[in-house]
Chains A and B, each alone.
Chain A
Amino acid sequence: MKKKRLLSLGLLLVLVLSTILAACSSDKKDDATGNKDSGDSKKEKILVFGRGGDSVSLDPITVTDGESFKVTQNVFETLINFGEQDTKLQPNLATKWEASEDGLTYTFELQEGVKFHDGTDFNAEAVVKNFERWMSGDAEKFPYFASMFGGFKGDKEAVIKEVKADGDYKVVITLNRAQAPFLKNLAMSPFGIASPTAFEKEGDKFGDNPVGTGPFKFVSWKRNDSVTIEKNKDYWKEGLPKLDKVIFRSIPDNSARLNALNTGEIDLADGIIPSDAASIQSNSKLQIFERPSMNVGYLGLTVTRPPFDNVKVRQAVNHAIDKQAIIDAFFEGKAEIAKNPMPSVIEGYNDDVKGYDYNPEKAKALLKEAGYDGKQIELWAMPVPRPYMPDGQKVAEAIQKNLADVGMKSKIVSYEWATYLDKAAKGEADAFLLGWTGDNGDADNFLYTLLDESNIGSNNYTFFKNKETHKLLLEAQTETDEAKRNELYKKAQVILAEEAPWVPLAHSTPLLAGKADIVDFKPHPTGSDILSKIDFK
C-alpha cells in the first residue's frame, strides 16, 4: 500500500518535472520550428496585430466600438473612402458622386466588376438592400445609423428618405433635409456594404460570419483572443492586399503588449504609451508609427455648478493651467497644445482664436474680480488611459497644483469608468477630465456633439448652453456651401473660447509600434486602418 502511494507520488513528480523540462528544453527545437515557420512565412506573409481589446461584433452597423471597426474596415468597404491619412473624401465602391443643388439628392456611380467574398455581385441592388436593412432597423440594432442619420424609416428626424437603384451601377439617395456632413458620414466604417445574400441568410448571426467586398476575408474568431482574416484573392484593387493573413490579437495590458512585440509574438502593437516611445525608438528591431491626431483632451467646467457658473472663474482656470508643462510631462511631447475644442486638421478650425496663455497673475486677478469665495472644488480624474489622456490621475495632480497656485483648492476624485461617465453626464462633477476622438473628421462631430445644448445629458458634460452657438451650429448642419459653413464654425469657436466651458488641453498623437521590417503602414486618424497596402520588407 505505502509503496504504491510512494510510487505514484514519485511518478507524479517525475511527470511534472519532465513536462517542465521538456517544455523548456524543447524551446530550442521550437525555435527551429519557429524559424521554419518564418521560412514558410516567406511564402505566406502573416501580420499579427496586438491591440487592447476584443471586437464586440464583426457586423459593423451593429456596433460603436473602435476595436470592432479595426477588423471590419478590412472586410467591408464603404461607398466613399477617407483619404489615406486624412478625412478628405476619396472614391471607393462609388467611383463618382453628385449632389443636387438643394443638397437633397445624391447620385452615386458604382464600381463595376466587384464581387462579395461569397461570390455574389456588388451592384446597385446590393447597395439598396444594405440601406433598406439599415433604415428598417432601430437604434438598438444599428446605433450609429441612428446617431449619424437622425433615425429610421418613418422617424421625424430621419435624414434619408429613400434609396433607389437607377440601372445596375447607379444609386440615388434622396434626403428629407440637407445634411452637410452626409458624405463624410457615409465614409465611416459602420456603413460598410455587406453581402445581401449573406446577411439575409445569417440574420442576427451575420456578425459571426461577416461577408463584404474588402481586401481581406473573414476566417475565424476566438473571443477575447484573436480574429483572423485572410487575403481576398479576387480583390478588385489590382495588386492588393500585400499580406496573406492578418491576425488581430487582444492583449489588454499595455506593458504585456509591448513585451509580446519584443518577443516577436506580435508584429504590430496599438496603444503604445508615450513614456515607452523612447525605449522603442532606441531598439533597432522596432519602429514607431504616429497616428495623425484627430482628438481633444480637455478639462470640462460644469457651468451649472458654482463657482463655474461664473464665466470669469472659467477664464481664470484657463489662464491658470500650464498646458505645455502637462504635454511635456505626460504626453512626452507627443501632443499639440489645444486652444479650440477641435484639432487643426478639421476644416473650419479657427486659428485666429488666441487661446488663453499660462498666466497665474491674470488668473488671480480674474478670480478676485469674480468674487470667488475660495470654495474647494472637486476635480475628477479619468480612471482609464485614453489616447487623448494617457494618465488622467497625473494630469489631474498637475492641474491641482496649478489651481492651488492661484488660490483655488481642489480635491481629486475618480470613479470606475462607466460610473464616471454616468455621473458626469448628470452634471455631478465640478471640473472633470475627458476627451473625444473624432468619428468622421467633421467639425459638427466635435462642436455640436460636445458643446451644443441638444446634447446636454449625453456628450455635453459641461451643460454649456448658448443661444448664439446653438443657432450657428444648427445652421452649419444644413449649409452645403463649404466656405460658408466653415465661417459659421469659426464664429462659434470664438464664442466658445470666450465663454470658456472647457480648458482645451491637448490634441495628442496616438502611437503604435511595429517590427522594423514593416513597410507602407499609414495609420489613419479615425483609428480604423485599412491594412491592404502594408507589407514586410
Chain B
Amino acid sequence: MRETNEQTAMRKHESAEPSNGTVLLAARGICKFFGTRTHRIQALHDVDMDVREGECVAVIGGSGCGKTTLTRIMFGLDTADAGTVRYRGGLLAGPRSAAMRQLRVESGIVFQNPFTSLDPRWSAGRSIAEGLVVRAARSGRRRHSAGDGEAIDAAVRGALAMVGLDPDDFIGRYPLDMSGGQAQRVAIARAMVAQPRIMLADEPMSAVDVSGRVQILDALTEIRRRQPHMAMVIVSHDLGVVQQLADRIVVLHDGRIEETGATGDLLANPQSAYTKQLIAAAAW
C-alpha cells in the first residue's frame, strides 16, 4: 500500500516494534501554583500520572480542577513548579533538552477551539503540512526534492481522509469556510499527520455543537482503530465521550487525583463522592 510506504518514510524515529504497556510519559509529584507571591493558589498538588503505549487515558473533572494544566505540563507546553515529567525515560528539562525535542517530534496536540488553533490565513492543507515541511527542511538537506513534496502531499491527504474529510474538498479550504466539527477534524489531522507516538486532545469538543461533536468522536475512534500503538490523552468533562474512547480514566478534583481506574469499572462503580456526582450530572 502507498500509505504504508509513507508511514515508514515519515516515521524516521521509529525504532523497534513497541512492547505493549511500556510507559511513554510519566509525571511524578507535579505541583503548580498560580497567582502572585502574596496571593498564591495551588492548581496541582503532588500529582502522579503515567501514560502507556497504545492506551487512551481520559483526564476528567470540573472546570478549574487542573486537568488542562496537568496535561499541558506533561506535554511540555507549560512548566511545573515542582515534580518531573519523563518522556520515554528522558527528563523533560527545558525546551532544549533531548527528551523535549523528541517529544515535540513524536507528539500531536489538539487544542480546545479549532478556530483559534488554526491560523485563519492558512488553508487546511498548509496548516496540516506545517510540521512535515519544517521537519523535511531540517532533515539535513537544504533543498527539498520533488519527492519530499509528493510524500507530504500524500501524508496530508491521508490524514484528511482518516478524519473523514474529503481531501480534494478540504485541502484548499480556509477555517472561515468550515463548521466547528470540520475545523476541529482538520486540527486533528494536523496532529496526526506525522504519525505521532502520543497525542493530547484538550477538550476537543467543548467549542463545537452536537453534530460536530459526533464527527470528532468518529474521527478519534477511527484514529484509535487505525493507530492501535499510539497513546492518547483526552481531557474532557464530557463523560459520554470519555466512555466511548478511553481505556482508563483519571478523575481530578481541586488539583488532586480523586480516583483512577479502567473506564468500565470506574463508571460502573465509582468510589469517591465527587466521581459519583460527576457521573450523576452526566447521565441526566
Same complex: no
